[in-house]
Amino acid sequence: MDPKEVYLSKPWLKYYPKGVPHEVNVPDISVPDVFDNMADKHGGKTALIFYGKKIRYAELKELTNRFAASLTGLGVAKGDTVALYLLNCPQYVIAYIGALKVGAKVTPISPVYTSKEVNHQLEDSDAKTIVCEDILYDNVEKSGVMLNNVILSNIGDYLPSFKKMFGKSALSKAYSGMQVPSAQDIERAGLHIFNNLIKDYPPQPPEVVIDPKKDIAALPYTGGTTGLPKASVLTHYNMVALQNQTLSFWPIFEEGKEIALAFLPFFHIYGQVVVMLNSLVQGATIVLFTTPDIDDILSALERYKASGFYGVPTLFEYLKEYEKTDRVNWKRLKLIACGADTLHESTITEWERRTKTKILEGYGMTETTAVSHSTPYDRPKTGSFGVPLPSVNAAIVDVEGTEFMPVNEVGELILNGPNIMQEYWKRPESYAETFLEIDGKKWLRTGDLVRMDEEGYFHFFDRKRDLIKYKGYSVFARHVEEVLYNHPQIKAAGVVGVPDPKVGNLIKAYVVLQSEARGKVSEEEIMDYCRQNLAHYKVPGIIEFRGELPKTDVGKVSRRELREEAEEV
């Protein structure tokens, strides 16, 4: 069969779990309307638990209505951008849904961003209103952006009284040197207090007509792995589609009966959509964590009998060796999922040995509203991130062109489906290199090097930009890293290509040794190990030991930063 026809035949459908539809119908409804419907249906059920403080769905709906009314009172109208510069907390959920209720679009900002990064996102997104953690206000002020409304939120406002001091101490450690504005500063700058707005305005949101397919719900920014971060334009339709796709793929979840832990940051598309929004639209209870304390998370898993656990590779890498991991009955959970990066095989093996459970991988991007692929819960395959969700078309094309690649050959993953973003915000020049048109359908070029096997399961190799060309050979950074992670004395590794006129790219490995091995294992020993386990052209020519490696906001090793460092030398 012609390669193109193989992909269009969707061989993965035969491995869908029983009862999972091949396609989903996306209702013509906005995100806040989906939330309101669920809140009306499960009003008495707990929606949020914040360090013991409980908020029912009926209360949460009222709070979002009050906040929406306050935004209207402050002059925020349909089409405006509202920035959220917050930690995980009830105010995040209230502000997110409340902003959507006035027809605004939200742009989440990472709490670890500097004033320069805050400046870029506020100006690029056209935000004139920001909901800001009071301890982060310094960065907003220093950003120099002229804003119409600055709304300050305090993490302690929704904490039980006995936890308020804990909240302050936890934040003071994480954000040392940052100052909460005084009452005089607040009055002088004309700042608004989140809780006062909630109290002052009635639970009467404005009547706004939202066109789900046209109106933008969110402008989440990519990580800036190439140049400045840019925003994916996600409509209400994109988000509602993704919710229907993921929930239909996981029929094991029951509406109104699930409990999810939310320690993944909501500013990131994974925590924002997979954990926060997907939980809200199925009437689940969300247990919120401002800081991802491992002991608190493990205790909450057992205390609240959580049904799903959503993590990233670095977390599982840590937990597989953590002494308290065995306190959790992992077999009780319906789903243990990993996303945002690729799991190393050594992590999978050790996790399964210790917990007797499977980690089910998924794949997605900001541009796909968080997810495009997931592993069937009843048929996982080690080394694969699974199969496309219902209504998603996926194929592999030549890295340099548009020719479809045969099964099991590596190329660039392209995607089509109702969850795919519209475009990059204010980046019309990037449209041609981001999208392909095939037979009248718009396909997203992901920039990821992937292969599909005979059963329609997809396997990740590397980011296209991380492909290393050494003497004409193609070397996948991830393959070299996998070998390094299997070395018993290596704790972490990052591999990049360093430009070299003689060979194209030299392979450089940044290595973090286990504490007991530091000063005892040499660079040459690591190279010898690589020679025993890799083809000659894949062996790193440079080994550099580090105490730690730079990480992205969700804990991935930042190859971009390593590459920039290597190129500066």
Q: Which residues pair with 493 in a beta bridge?
A: 511
Reported as a pLDDT band with limits 50, 70 and 90, residue 165 is low
Residues 45, 19 share a domain: no
DSSP string, 361-424: EEE--GGGTT-SEE--TTS--TT--BEEPTT-EEEEE-TTS-PBPPTT--EEEEEESTTS-S-B
What does the pLDDT average to over 297-309? 96
CB 216 within 8 A of CB 126: no
Of residues 197, 194, 205, 285, the one with CA closest to residue 32: 205
Residues 312, 188 share a domain: no
- Stretch among 11-20, 76-85, 414-423, 514-523 having the lowest mean pLDDT: 514-523
CB 477 within 8 A of CB 462: yes
For the cut 50, the answer to whether the pLDDT of residue 545 exceeds it is yes
- What pLDDT sits at residue 466? 83
* Neighbour count for residue 33 (Cβ, 10 Å): 17
Reported as a pLDDT band with limits 50, 70 and 90, residue 474 is confident
Amino acid at 26: V
CB 131 within 8 A of CB 194: yes
For the cut 80, the answer to whether the pLDDT of residue 275 exceeds it is yes
Token pair 């800036």 is at which residue?
224
457 located within any domain: yes
Residues 288, 242 share a domain: yes
> H or E stretch including 485?
helix 477-485
Residues 507, 433 share a domain: no
Reported as a pLDDT band with limits 50, 70 and 90, residue 168 is low
Reported as a pLDDT band with limits 50, 70 and 90, residue 249 is very high
CATH number at residue 377: 3.40.50.12780
Judged by phi (left if over 0) then psi (alpha if -120 to 50, else beta), residue 394 lies in: beta
For the cut 60, the answer to whether the pLDDT of residue 505 exceeds it is yes
pLDDT digits (tens, 9 = 90+) for 381-401: 988 999 999 999 999 999 888
How many folded domains does the chain comprise? 3
Reported as a pLDDT band with limits 50, 70 and 90, residue 226 is very low
423 located within any domain: yes
Quick one: DSSP state of residue 337?
E
- In degrees, rounded to 5, the angle at the alpha carbon of residue 263 between the alpha carbons of residues 303 and 337 is 85
Buried b (16+ CB within 10 A) or exposed e, 495-521: bbbbeeeebebbbbbbbbbeeebeeeb
Residues 436, 379 share a domain: yes
- What pLDDT sits at residue 181? 85
Average per-residue pLDDT in the chain? 92
217 located within any domain: no
Residues 397, 427 share a domain: yes
- What pLDDT sits at residue 227? 62
For the cut 50, the answer to whether the pLDDT of residue 225 exceeds it is no
Query: Which position has the higher pLDDT, 558 or 472?
Result: 558
pLDDT digits (tens, 9 = 90+) for 344-385: 888 899 999 999 999 999 999 999 999 999 999 999 998 899
Residues 48, 108 share a domain: yes
Q: How far is CA 390 from CA 22, 134, 187, 282, 434, in A?
A: 5, 42, 52, 18, 23
Residues 496, 407 share a domain: no
218 located within any domain: no
- What pLDDT sits at residue 340? 83
183 contacts: CB under 8 Å, gap ≥ 6 = none
- What pLDDT sits at residue 569? 61
- What pLDDT sits at residue 179? 76
Which pair of structure tokens corresponds to residue 445?
Answer: 């070029």
Residues 149, 261 share a domain: no
Domain end residue (candidates: 151, 176, 209): 209
Range of the domain at 114: 31-209
- Stretch among 64-73, 217-226, 261-270, 441-450 having the lowest mean pLDDT: 217-226
Residues 238, 189 share a domain: no
CATH number at residue 535: 3.30.300.30
What does the pLDDT average to over 85-89? 97
For the cut 60, the answer to whether the pLDDT of residue 176 exceeds it is no
Domain end residue (candidates: 462, 485, 500): 462
Residues 453, 373 share a domain: yes
223 located within any domain: no
Reported as a pLDDT band with limits 50, 70 and 90, residue 175 is low
Cβ-based burial of 119 (10 A; exposed 0-12, middle 13-18, buried ≥19): middle
For the cut 60, the answer to whether the pLDDT of residue 170 exceeds it is no
CB 488 within 8 A of CB 465: no
* Neighbour count for residue 391 (Cβ, 10 Å): 19
CATH number at residue 88: 3.40.50.980
Distance CA 373, CA 185 (A): 48
Reported as a pLDDT band with limits 50, 70 and 90, residue 135 is very high
What does the pLDDT average to over 103-119? 94
What does the pLDDT average to over 263-272? 95
Residues 302, 444 share a domain: yes
284 located within any domain: yes
154 located within any domain: yes
220 located within any domain: no
Domain end residue (candidates: 462, 480, 499): 462
- Stretch among 11-20, 209-218, 327-336, 428-437 having the lowest mean pLDDT: 428-437
Distance CA 90, CA 80 (A): 22
Quick one: DSSP state of residue 12?
G
**Residues composing the chain:** 569
What does the pLDDT average to over 311-318? 89
